Structure 1
Amino acid sequence: MVIELVHRIKEDTQSWFSQNLKGDRWIWAVCIFLMLWSIPVVYSASVKDAYRERQGNTEYYLIKHSLLCLSALVIMYFVHRVPYIKFARFSRLSVWISVPLLLFAAFNGKVVNDAARWIEIPLIGQRFQPSEFAKVALITHLSLVLAKHIKGRWSPRELLTEPVLLVGIVCGLIFPSNVSTAVLLAGVCILLMYVGKVPVRYLFLTGLALAFFATVTVVLRTTQRSGTAQSRVQTFFNPDTVVYQSRQSYMAMARGGIRGEGVAKSRQRRFLPEPQKDFIFAITVEEYGTLGGLALMLLFLTLLYRGLKAIDVTKRPFGGLLSAGLTFSIVFQALTAMAVTVGLLPVTGQTLPLFSQGGTSMWFTGLAVGMMLSISRGEFDEKNI
């Protein structure tokens, strides 16, 4: 009787998943596992902030991060049920909406750590980072523009207005307050343009446009983080100097060894700045060891492979470019955060997508993954976009 009940529950569960969770099952599995694993890690890493800001209420960050993970899953679920071709209709509007949002954040945004990256949402008090919205919007619209010209039929005016000027404006507006995000987004866009057969000389023009708009926004808005970025790069190339964050990160990973100190047994979380955000990979290695760090890296590499695998499913230019762009954006950010932690890159402030604490990043990464899942369904025709 009990065995029959277990089999029935198993069959009903499998039936529900097959009917409701469409798309690449590996992408679903990787993202769900990342978020579930992140909950105990964020809970452990946020202990210092809990005692400093919440009078020792450690459950606050546990509940908050769990709800953010749940909300990201809900976003993924509803977005993946939408035919991805519908996002093309709103891509241009979304990009141009992101421009005034980025301008508002630059001049009137909420300043945290000397950078005005956030807009505070009234009533709920949640901070919103417009650069996260701009990333998804720009990659979506750029994929659409490139898909329409995939056979290389470009006019100089089309090249200068859509890919070159658009990428330059958005990345240039992000640059003063978040240098690393602007550089990563520009890299993804240039890579997409190369894949989309944009002539090489226009890739150089895109680079010049990025430099121009970045310079203009820095001049207009008193450097903000550009000075910090410069000092970090100089320190990185100075062999006699190690920044405080990196020193604490190395100590955390050294303590972890092969198997780690154990769940929620990190010691360096008391000294490492932003352990639940920028340096959560160091806490993961300390608690779960080198094996845990390798497992986390393998999860993101699996996501990279499955995201690019969706190109074979769609067999259409827009879906393929969009899946590639969103996948590159997520995985490159993750690899950058890991590289910073182990000392291969200067300190950037990049977080681990779907793993670090953070509301805006979690939501828009969920949106991006939902779009990837919609593409991986391979059920839609692009003739009408």
Structure 2
Amino acid sequence: MNFLQKLREDTQVWFIKNLKGDPWIWGTCIVMLFWSVVVVYSASVKDAYSQMGGNTEYFLYKHVLLCIISLVVMYFVHKIPYIKFVYVTRLALWSSILLLLFTLFFGTSVNEAARWIEIPVIGQRFQPSEWAKVALIAHLSLILARHIKGGWNTRELLLEPLALVALVCGLIFSSNVSTAVMLAGICFMLMFVGKVPVQYLLFTMLGLVFFAACAILLKKTQRSGTAQSRIATFLDNDVVVYQSQQSYMAMARGGLYGEGVAKSRQRRFLPEPQKDFIFAVAVEEYGTLGGSFLIVLYLILLYRGLKAIEATKRPFGGLLSAGLTFVIVSQAFSAMAVTVGLVPVTGQTLPFFSQGGTSLIFTGISMGMILSVSRGEIVEEKRI
């Protein structure tokens, strides 16, 4: 008992000493990652067996490794004073634009969408849009913070926030319509908070449409056609998409308390249940109570991410924390809305919960940056 008590005390001391920032954010992220391991294993058994020659633990080991990497990344990023991010936002943004352009022409197609870059030797796929989301929000926050008291001129507006938002969202639009629309909406919200004149926001919208049209014409139009088809199907009450039908059946089977851990039946019929429709598997196994608890976890992230703004004296920190928080939570609620049939099928995954290497790692980076903001003013730098 003395050994266990000492171990517990030492663990508490280590956490207090090393995990800075908002403890609610740390706790929420850790709970979701641990819970996701169980749900992803349950949901991925069928695909692992059929795709990996009967190795039903393949996706489990991969997901556990990625969860650890995500936590490690989040830990190291949160140790960096957030004010230092201002030195790399421009480089990060332009590197993401180059990667998006490369993906547009040479990307690997998955499910009829060129969203991926295949990394040589290791054979791992990388999704540039995840990097672009973090980079765009960070750089946009910096630009807006520098002009938070006004002083905009037409040249500055057109060259930096307006053109960059339109360019990045337009490039993403050609392969991932839902991500582009969500990201554009969050950027518009940040620009409105950053006091960008309304007439210039209209120019941004026109620019977004222009770049999206160019991206579609330069590559393929399948995703725009897919989006139109999904919206039309969603509005047609006589047609139910196969994925949605299986999702409704899974949640209906779950009832209030669920079927139990790893007892989902609809995972055998849902396409890639460990990704887009993992919320349906979670509700089937843990019931409406379990699904509601997951929603509460994301609401905690939303509240604490916005509350982190109080810890910073600089506009950059507040805009950065708010923007990244809205990106993560908006994606989560978009995925859950698809599962319950409130919006058309989009292909969004649950941050920190679904299987997915790129998403887990860049969500870890985002949460690390939010935690860095929640630490407050660590060092004094030139005012932004």
TM-score where L is the length of structure 2: 0.98
Once the two structures are overlaid, the 10-residue window that deviates more, 320-329 or 194-203, is 194-203
Q: Distance in 1 between matches of 2:285 and 2:88?
A: 43
Say whether residues 1:264 and 2:256 are aligned partners.
Answer: no
Partners of 1:139 and 1:189 within 8 A in 2: yes
Say whether residues 1:351 and 2:349 are aligned partners.
Answer: yes
Partners of 1:316 and 1:382 within 8 A in 2: no
Shift of 1:382: 4.9
Query: Which residue does the alignment assign to 1:197?
Result: 195
**Cα distance per residue 1:104-155 (max 9 Å; x no partner):** 1111111110011000111111100000000000000000000000012111
Q: Distance in 1 between matches of 2:204 and 2:255?
A: 44
Partners of 1:77 and 1:370 within 8 A in 2: yes
Of all paired residues, the percent bearing the same amino acid is 70
Query: Which residue does the alignment assign to 2:77?
Result: 79
Partners of 1:118 and 1:129 within 8 A in 2: yes
Partners of 1:311 and 1:323 within 8 A in 2: yes
Q: Distance in 2 between matches of 1:112 and 1:48?
A: 19
Correspondent of 1:34 among 32, 35, 42: 32
Shift of 1:228: 0.7
Say whether residues 1:241 and 2:239 are aligned partners.
Answer: yes
Query: Which residue does the alignment assign to 1:284?
Result: 282
Say whether residues 1:255 and 2:250 are aligned partners.
Answer: no
Q: Distance in 2 between matches of 1:170 and 1:70?
A: 30
Query: Which residue does the alignment assign to 2:174?
Result: 176
Partners of 2:174 and 2:224 within 8 A in 1: yes
Query: Which residue does the alignment assign to 1:299?
Result: 297
Correspondent of 2:218 among 217, 220, 225: 220
Shift of 1:159: 0.9
Runs of 4+ more than 6 Å apart: none
Say whether residues 1:142 and 2:140 are aligned partners.
Answer: yes
Partners of 1:76 and 1:370 within 8 A in 2: yes
Q: Distance in 2 between matches of 1:51 and 1:24?
A: 40
Query: Which residue does the alignment assign to 1:48?
Result: 46
Q: Distance in 2 between matches of 1:382 and 1:265?
A: 54
**Cα distance per residue 1:240-292 (max 9 Å; x no partner):** 11111111100000000000000100000111112000000000000000001
Correspondent of 2:64 among 50, 63, 66: 66
Partners of 2:314 and 2:383 within 8 A in 1: no
Query: Which residue does the alignment assign to 2:184?
Result: 186
Q: Distance in 2 between matches of 1:156 and 1:109?
A: 35
Query: Which residue does the alignment assign to 2:21?
Result: 23
Q: Distance in 2 between matches of 1:57 and 1:38?
A: 19
RMSD across aligned C-alpha pairs, in angstroms? 1.0
Query: Which residue does the alignment assign to 1:103?
Result: 101
Shift of 1:11: 2.4
**Cα distance per residue 1:188-224 (max 9 Å; x no partner):** 1111111111111111111111111001111111213
**Cα distance per residue 1:351-373 (max 9 Å; x no partner):** 00000000000000000000011
**Cα distance per residue 1:42-80 (max 9 Å; x no partner):** 001111211210122111111110000000000001110
Partners of 1:75 and 1:370 within 8 A in 2: yes
Q: Distance in 2 between matches of 1:12 and 1:272?
A: 44
Q: Distance in 2 between matches of 1:129 and 1:80?
A: 23
**Corresponding letter in the other structure for 1:295:** F
Q: Distance in 2 between matches of 1:207 and 1:178?
A: 18
Aligned length: 383
Q: Distance in 2 between matches of 1:91 and 1:153?
A: 22
Structure 1 alignment gaps of length 5 or more: none
**Corresponding letter in the other structure for 2:262:** A
Partners of 2:45 and 2:57 within 8 A in 1: no
TM-score where L is the length of structure 1: 0.98
